Amino acid sequence: MPVTVTRTSWDALRSLPTTARPVVDPADVEVPEGYELEPVLVGLSFPCGMGFAPDGSLFLLEGGSTWPTRPYMRARILRLDTATGAMDEIASEVLGGPRGVTWRDGTLYVTVKGGRHAHVDRIDPSTGERTTIVDGLPSGGWHEPSDPVFGPDGLLYFGNGSVSQNGVCLPAGFTVDLAKHPTACDVPGQDVTLTGNNVWSRNPTAPFPYLAETGPFKPFGRRAEKGEVIRGHLKCSSGLWRCHPDGSGLELLAWGLRNPYGLAFSEQGELYASDNDLEEKGERAIADDPDRVWHIRNARTPHGSVSTPDWYGFPDMCADGLPVDHESHRPAKGKAAERLIADPPPWAGPATYLEKPHTCFCHMEFCRSDAFGHRRALFVASFGTYAPLNTPDPNALTRGFCITKVDVDSGSGEAFLRNRRPGPASAHPGSGGIERPVDCKFHPDGRSLYLLDFGVTAVAPTHVVAYARTGVLWRLTRI
C-alpha cells in the first residue's frame, strides 16, 4: 500500500501540527565532533524497530497500540528507500504488532508480540505473503519478543520477554495486554520447585474489597504451594532460542532474561542481549536492579547440543548477582520481594555490561565499519526511564534518552549521543531534540547510524501516556 511522504523545510520542523511534539531540531542534540545529525522522517506512530536490506531499503516497524490504556493504532511494516525517500507499506497487524526485523536472502524475518502468544514470521516483501515459522511463545502480558538476528552459523536467533513485570502477574498487568488474556502467565525454561511465597494484591476483576493471592508461573489469582514443581517448557517466557530459517530445529539456549529486546552478534561471532531491570513498584518491588548486556554463551555451542539452557536470573536474581530480597534491593516504594524459586539453577552471569537502573536498554548493533569509526563498539538505544512511575528515585528521572556506546571487552560504556539538556526533549518546552531512542542500525554503506525515536511518552506517578504521530527517524553521519 502506498504511503504518502511529504518533503518539508527545516522551518516547518519548528512548527509541526503534532502539538505533543511541535519542534524537531538536531541543534538541540549533542553529537561527537565530526558527526552530523539530521531528521529523516517525522510523524511515525509508536515505531519500535527497524532493519536494513543490503540495497539500503530500511524496514520500519510501527508497533501499534492494543493496550486498553491507549487509543488503538494499527501496527505496520513500512519500507523506506533511503536513497529516494519513497515509502510503502509491506504488511499490517491486528493484534500486538511487530517488534524486531531482519533481512536474509530477499526475505524479511519479523518477531511479533501477537495476542496470547508471540510468534516469528517470514514475509516476502514483494508480495506481502506471510508464513509463521515459530508460534506459541508465551505472551499476552508485559514484555516483548526481541530482534531476530542471523548468526555466523546461518541460524536464526531470537528472544521473548516475561509475561509478568516482576515475576508474578499482578493488577498493573491489567493496564496492558493481561486485561485481554487474564490466564496468561510466565512459563519456566526448566523444571523449578517453588518456595510457596505468594503475593497478595487487589483484584481488578472483582468489586472492592476483594483481594487475590497469586503465585509465580500462575495466572492472576492462583496461588502456588510450597514444594510445588512447575515443569519447564521449550516455549517458555523470558527465553532465547535458535532455529533454522524455516523454523525447524528450535532449541532453547537461555531463559531468565526479563526483557531481552536487543540481540546482536559481534564480528567475532559472539551473541549479546540487552535486558531491562526489575521495577521498584507494586506488590513485588525491587530497587536498584541495573540494566544490562548479557553474553549468551550457548550461542557458541553446536546446534542441537544444549541439553540444559543457561539461566540469567529472572525472577529471583538482579543483574549484579544479588538476590531480589538482598538489603541493597529493598524498595522505597511498593512491597519488598520474596524469593519464588526454592532450587534456582546456576546463574549464568556476570553481565558483560551494567548500566544504571531504569535506563531501559532496547535494540542495539555492533559497528562493523571503519568509515563511521568506533569499529567493534556496541551501540545501544536507551529508551529512558519511566520514573516516577517505576521508581521513586529522583536520580532516575533523566536516565537514558541517549545512544550508549559499549566496549564489551572492557565492560565500559558512555553516552555517544544525547540531548544538550537532560531527559527527553519534551521535558524542556521549545526543545526539538530526541525523545525516546528505541533502535539504532547502521546503513549498509557503513557511514551512517540511523536512530529510531519512539516519540513522546509522558510519565506520571500513576501512569504513562504515549502520543501517536510523534516518532522520528534520525540519521547520524560521519562528515
Name residues whose C-beta falls within 8 Å of residue 327's C-beta, 6 or more positions apart in sequence: none
To the question of pTM greater than 0.95 for the whole model, the response is: yes
Average pLDDT over residues 9-34: 94
Q: Check residue 436 and give left, alpha or beta (phi > 0: left; psi -120 to 50: alpha).
A: beta
Distance separating alpha carbons of residues 439 and 408, to the nearest angstrom = 19
Give, in degrees to the nearest 5, the angle at Cα 149 between 144 and 155.
120
Mean pLDDT for the chain?
95
* Contact call for residues 448 and 475 (beta carbons, < 8 A): yes
| 98: exposed, middle or buried (Cβ count in 10 Å: 0-12, 13-18, 19+) | buried
Domain boundaries along the sequence of the chain: 10-454
pLDDT band at residue 190 under the 50/70/90 scheme:
very high
CA-nearest of 261, 239, 253, 268 to 299 is: 253
How many residues in the chain?
479
Per-residue pLDDT at 48 exceeds 80: yes
Distance separating alpha carbons of residues 440 and 453, to the nearest angstrom = 9
pLDDT band at residue 54 under the 50/70/90 scheme:
very high
Average pLDDT over residues 246-271: 98
Distance separating alpha carbons of residues 122 and 134, to the nearest angstrom = 10
pLDDT at 96: 78
Name residues whose C-beta falls within 8 Å of residue 334's C-beta, 6 or more positions apart in sequence: 280, 281, 282, 283, 284, 285
pLDDT band at residue 161 under the 50/70/90 scheme:
very high
Per-residue pLDDT at 339 exceeds 70: yes
Average pLDDT over residues 99-123: 95
The C-alpha cell 569499529 sits at: 375
* Contact call for residues 444 and 450 (beta carbons, < 8 A): no
How many other β-carbons are positioned within 10 Å of the β-carbon of residue 1?
10
Grid coordinates representing 414 are 558512555
CA-nearest of 470, 358, 476, 478 to 42 is: 470
For the segment 205-255, what is each residue's pLDDT rounded down to a tens digit?
887 778 999 999 999 999 999 999 999 999 999 999 999 999 999 999 999
Q: Check residue 407 and give left, alpha or beta (phi > 0: left; psi -120 to 50: alpha).
A: beta
More confident residue, 364 or 91: 364
| CA end-to-end distance (rounded Å), the chain | 35
Average pLDDT over residues 191-205: 96
| 31: exposed, middle or buried (Cβ count in 10 Å: 0-12, 13-18, 19+) | middle
Strand duo 310-311 + 251-255: pairing: parallel
Distance separating alpha carbons of residues 404 and 318, to the nearest angstrom = 21
pLDDT at 266: 98
C-alpha 262, offset from chain centre: 6
* Contact call for residues 110 and 77 (beta carbons, < 8 A): yes
* Contact call for residues 401 and 386 (beta carbons, < 8 A): no
pLDDT band at residue 352 under the 50/70/90 scheme:
very high
Per-residue pLDDT at 275 exceeds 80: yes
Cis peptide leading into 461, omega within 30 of 0? no
Give, in degrees to the nearest 5, the angle at Cα 308 between 148 and 185.
65
CA-nearest of 453, 368, 462 to 403 is: 453
Per-residue pLDDT at 315 exceeds 90: yes
Topology at the third CATH level for domain 10-454: Neuraminidase (2.120.10)
For the segment 57-88, what is each residue's pLDDT rounded down to a tens digit?
999 999 887 776 677 788 999 999 999 999 99
pLDDT at 1: 64
The C-alpha cell 501477537 sits at: 114
Distance separating alpha carbons of residues 358 and 188, to the nearest angstrom = 25
pLDDT at 208: 73
pLDDT at 101: 97
Identity of the amino acid at 135: D
For the segment 412-467, what is each residue's pLDDT rounded down to a tens digit?
999 999 999 999 999 999 999 999 999 999 999 999 999 999 999 999 998 888 99
The C-alpha cell 497478595 sits at: 200
Average pLDDT over residues 181-206: 95
Distance separating alpha carbons of residues 233 and 180, to the nearest angstrom = 23
Percent of the chain with pLDDT over 70: 99
pLDDT band at residue 2 under the 50/70/90 scheme:
low
pLDDT at 338: 98
pLDDT band at residue 287 under the 50/70/90 scheme:
very high
Grid coordinates representing 47 are 515505531
